[in-house]
Amino acid sequence: MSHYEVIPMQCPKCGNMNHFKNYNSINITVTPELKKAIMNDDIFKFECQDCHHVEYLRHQLFYHDTKNKIMLQYAKDPEEIEQTLAALKAEGLDLSSYKIRWTNNWYVFKERIQIFDHHRDDRILAIYKENMLKKFYEEYPEAGHAVVFYHADLSENLMIVSEHMKVKFYYFPEQWYANMMVNPHIQKMLKYDTSIDVNEDYVKRVYNLEVNVVTAKVQTESFVDTYVLHHLDFAKTGDHVLIEDKGKDDEGVIQKLEVMDARDVPAHIHFIKHIIKRRDVDDIEVSNHLEKIAKALYHENEVQLLSQLLHVLSEVKIYLPLIKDEKTGELNREVIRTNNHEPVMPIFTKEKEAKLFAPESIVYETYFTDLIDEFPRMSFVLNPQCKELLIIDKKMTAILKSYVQEELTHVN
C-alpha cells in the first residue's frame, strides 16, 4: 500500500492555511498513477489553494514495486531503508530476491526507476558510466565537474551533464552491456552482491575485487548446508534463521560465518530468508527488566534472578562507546573506575544513552555474548545512567558463556 499523511501548512506567500499530502511510501504496483508524479516531481508539489503559490517540498520517499520486486529509498541516511526493511522482514516478507537501493540524490533515485523499468542492471551501468566519464574528461578537460545519467524517453541513452558544456547524449552501449551480462564472473557477482548504494565507491570496489559477501554454515535437524547473508542482515553464530530447502521453509542455527569474494561463492548456494530476531535493542521493557534485576541482585542475591539476567543478556544487543585516538586513529574502549578502583567498561542497551554518556565517541553495536569473547578478562557496568548500577564481573561473564554454550548445545 501507499502511505501518506495530510499536513496542515501555511502558505509562505499569502499566509493562508492549506493541507499538503506528504507521501512517505509508494507501492507503484498498487498505485501506478503516482509514478508520473515522481518523475515530474509533482509528488513534492505544494500549491496554495488561494494564491496558487507553488513550492516543492522534498522529503524522504520509499518506492516499492511488488510486481518486479524492487525497493528504492530516497533519504538522507541509509539507516532509513534499514529500518523500513526491518519492519517488512518482521511481517515475514522475503527480501532475498528484491533489488534494494538507497540514495540521497533525487535525480539518481529517478534514474534508478528508469533503469529498472527497462530491466537493466544499475551495477553494470555504473561500471560503464565510470569509464565513460574518464574518456569524457580526457576529451573535454575544460568541462568541469560532470555526471552521467541513464535516460529513457523514446529510446535509451546516456547523457553527460557538466558545469561548462551543454548536455551531451550518447547511444546506449547495447553490445557492451550484452557481453557483460553473459560474463560468468560478472554474473556470479551480480547474483550474490546485495549492496544498496551503487555509486563511485562501489565501482572502485568492483575494480579492486572487493565485492565480498558473508556466508553462513547452517545446521537444521536433518542437514548442514551453506547459505548467503543479505548485506543488510546482522547475524552471529548461534542465531536461528529461516532457510528454504527443496521448496519448503526450514529453521536452522548458524554454526559458522565466513567472508568470501562474491565470485568464489558456489553457484548453487541460496540466501538466508530471514534472521529470527532477538530482543529489540530499544525495547524499554528490556531496560526496565534489567534495572529491576540489578536492584534485586544487590539486595537479595537470588540465583533465580541471576539466571534471568543471563537469559536477557544472551539475547540483547549492546551499544559500546569507543574513543578515537587522534594520533594513531585507533578506537579505544571507554573505561570508568568503580568505588574499589577496579576498571569497568560501560555498556548500554540503548544507542542514544551510549551517545549521551560519551558524545565524542563512536558507538559500536554488538551482542554481549560477542563482547565477552573479545574482552574475556574485562568487567562491565550495564546502563551506568541508571540509579541501580549493575556490575557484570569476570565470574558472571564466565557463567554466561557456559549458559550460552548449554543453550546452543540444547538447540542442536
User: How many Cα neighbours within 13 Å face the side chain of 365?
Assistant: 11
- Both 302 and 341 in a single domain? yes
Listed residues 275, 303, 327: the one ending a domain: 275
**CA–CA distance, 296 with 293 (Å, rounded to integer):** 5
Residues 247 and 340 in one domain: no
Question: How does pLDDT run across 226-271, given as a tens digit for each residue?
Answer: 999 887 787 777 788 889 888 888 888 888 888 888 888 888 899 9
Q: Which of 176, 181, 173, 231 is closest to 202 using CA atoms?
A: 231
Residue 304 predicted with pLDDT over 80: no
* Mean pLDDT to the nearest integer, 118-135: 94
Highest mean pLDDT pick, 47-56, 278-287, 345-354: 47-56
Residue 199 has pLDDT above 70, yes or no: yes
- The string of pLDDT tens digits covering residues 168-187 is 999 999 999 999 999 988 88
Roughly what angle, to the nearest 10 degrees, separates helices 122-139 and 200-207?
100
Question: What does the pLDDT look like over 262-301, one tens digit per residue?
Answer: 888 888 899 988 887 654 444 545 555 555 555 555 454 5
Query: In which band, very low, low, confident or very high, does the pLDDT at 408 lie, cut at 50, 70 and 90?
Result: very low
Q: Is residue 383 part of a domain?
A: yes
Across the chain, what does the average pLDDT equal? 82
The structure's pTM equals 0.65
Number of domains in the chain: 2
Q: Is residue 107 part of a domain?
A: no
398, part of any domain? yes
* Grid cell of 312 as nine digits: 536477557
Strands 336-337 and 331-333: unpaired
Task: Tell me the CA distances in angstroms from 255 to 114, 249, 280, 286, 398, one per residue in order.
Answer: 41, 19, 23, 27, 21
Torsion (CA) 106, 107, 111, 113 in degrees, nearest 10: 30
The predicted structure's pLDDT at residue 277: 65
All three cell numbers of 407: 543453550
| The three cell numbers locating residue 204 | 572502485
329 with 361, same domain?
yes
3-state SS string over 216-260? EEEECCCCEEEEEECCCCCCCCCCEEEEEECCEEEEEEEEEEEEE
If phi > 0 it is left, if psi is from -120 to 50 it is alpha, else beta; for residue 294 that is: alpha
CB contact at 8 A, 120 and 111: no
Residue where a domain stops, chosen among 240, 258, 275: 275
Q: Is residue 202 scored above 80 in pLDDT?
A: yes
Domain extent at residue 241: 211-275
Decide which of 230, 250, 275 is a domain's last residue.
Answer: 275
Q: How many CB atoms lie within 10 A of CB 162?
A: 19
Which single residue is written with the C-alpha cell 554466561? Answer: 400
**What SS3 state is found at 50?**
coil
In a domain, 265, yes or no: yes
- Nearest Cα residue to 273 out of 248, 304, 300: 248
Please tell me the distance from the alpha carbon of residue 27 to that of residue 266, in angstroms, as a whole number. 34
In terms of domains, do 298 and 265 share one?
A: no
Residue 376 in domain: yes
Specify whether 392 is located in the same domain as 291: yes
Percentage of residues in the chain having pLDDT higher than 70: 82
35 within a domain of the structure (yes/no): no
pLDDT band at residue 399, thresholds of 50, 70 and 90? low
Q: Which residue pairs, CB below 8 angstroms and at least 24 apart, start in 5-10? A: 9/46
- The set of cell numbers assigned to 118 is 527497462
Pairing mode, if any, of strands 99-103 and 70-74? parallel
The answer to whether residue 68 sits within a structural domain is: no
Closest-CA residue to 77 (of 64, 60, 94, 100): 60
